[in-house]
Amino acid sequence: MPTPSANYQPLTPLSFLKRAAYVFRDKTAVVYGDKRYTWQEFAGRANRLSHALKKAGIKKGDKVAFLCRNLPQLLEAHYAIPQIGAVLVALNVRLSPREIVYIGNHSEAKALFVESTLAELVESDKLPGIKMFINIPEGETSRRLSEVDYEDFLMTGKEDPVKYNLDDENDPIAINYTSGTTGPPKGCVATHRTAYLQALGKTIELGLDVYSVYLWTLPMFHCNGWARAWSVACRGSTSVCMTRPDPPEIYRLVEGEGVTHMDGAPIVWVRLNQYMEENDLWFSHRVRINNGGSAPSPRMIRSLDSRGAEIIHNYGLTETLDGFTVCEWQPQWDVLSAEERARIKGRQGVVNVTAGEMRVVDAEMRDVPADGITIGEIVLRGNALMKEYFKQPEETATAFRGGWFHTGDGVVVHPDGYVEIKDRFKDIIISGGENISSIEVENVICEHPDVLEAACFGMKDEKWGEAVKAIVTPKPGTNPTAEEIISFCRQRIAHYKSPKVIEFGVIPRGPTGKIQKYILRKQLMPSTDEGK
**pLDDT the model gives residue 71:** 98
Whether 529 has a pLDDT exceeding 50, the answer reads no
As a whole number, mean pLDDT of residues 189-195 equals: 98
Rounded to 5 degrees, what are φ and ψ at 346? -80, -5
How many other C-beta atoms can be found within 10 angstroms of the C-beta atom of residue 368?
17
pLDDT of residue 496: 81
Distance CA 52, CA 149 (A): 12
Mean pLDDT taken over the chain: 91
* pLDDT, position 512: 61
pLDDT, one tens digit per residue, over 1-53 is 555 578 999 999 999 999 999 999 999 999 999 999 999 999 999 999 999 99
Range of weakest confidence among 196-210, 380-394, 513-527: 513-527
Higher pLDDT, 229 or 531: 229
Inter-CA distances, 342 with 288, 327, 436, 443, Å: 15, 11, 21, 11
What's the pLDDT at 4? 56
CA–CA separation, 341 and 335 (whole Å): 9
A 10 A CB-CB count for 204 gives 15
> How far is residue 18's CA from residue 14's CA, in Å, rounded to a whole number?
7
| Span 140-154, average pLDDT | 88
CATH topology of domain 245-424: Rossmann fold (3.40.50)
CA–CA distance, 483 with 506 (Å, rounded to integer): 19
Q: Which of 156, 127, 138 is nearest to 244 (CA)?
A: 138
Distance CA 273, CA 413 (A): 30
Outline which parts of the chain fall under CATH 3.30.300.30: 428-524
Residue 207: per-residue pLDDT: 96
Question: What DSSP state is assigned to residue 475?
Answer: P
The class (CATH top level) of 428-524 is: alpha beta
Q: What is the pLDDT of residue 197?
A: 97
Q: Length of the chain, please?
A: 532
Residue 422: its pLDDT value, please? 82
pLDDT over 90 at 183, yes or no: no
CATH architecture of 38-190: 3-Layer(aba) Sandwich (3.40)
Confidence band, pLDDT 50/70/90 cuts, at residue 81: very high
Residue 527 pLDDT: 40
Question: Percentage of residues in the chain with pLDDT exceeding 90?
Answer: 74
- Kindly report, residue by residue over 250-263, the tens digit of the pLDDT: 999 999 999 999 99
Amino acid 460: pLDDT: 82
* DSSP secondary structure of 316-335: E-GGGSSEEEE----GGGGG
pLDDT 10s digits, 356-411: 999 999 999 999 999 999 999 999 999 999 999 999 999 999 999 999 999 988 89
Q: 199 in helix, strand or coil?
A: helix
User: By mean pLDDT, which of 56-60, 312-316, 355-359 is the weakest?
Assistant: 312-316
Which DSSP state fits 417? Answer: S
Residues of the chain within CATH 3.40.50.12780 domain(s) are 38-190, 245-424
Q: Report the run of H or E that residue 134 belongs to, with start and end.
A: strand 132-136
Q: What is the pLDDT of residue 530?
A: 34
| CA–CA distance, 419 with 325 (Å, rounded to integer) | 9
Beta strand 376-382 pairing with 405-413? antiparallel
Closest CA to 214 of 195, 192, 233: 233
Banded pLDDT at 523 (limits 50, 70, 90): low
- Specify whether the CB–CB gap between 249 and 224 falls below 8 A: no
- pLDDT at position 184 is 77
Cα separation, 19 vs 13, in Å, equals 10
The predicted structure's pLDDT at residue 437: 76
CB atoms within 10 A of CB 434: 13
**Across residues 77-92, what is the average pLDDT?**
97
pLDDT in tens, 415-466: 999 999 887 777 778 786 666 878 888 888 999 999 999 988 888 877 777 8
pLDDT at 531: 31
As a 3-state breakdown, the chain gives helix, strand, coil percent values, each rounded to 5, of 35, 25, 40
pLDDT at 125: 94
Q: What is the DSSP string of 220-268?
A: TTSHHHHTHHHHHHHTTPEEE--SS--HHHHHHHHHHHT--EEEE-HHH
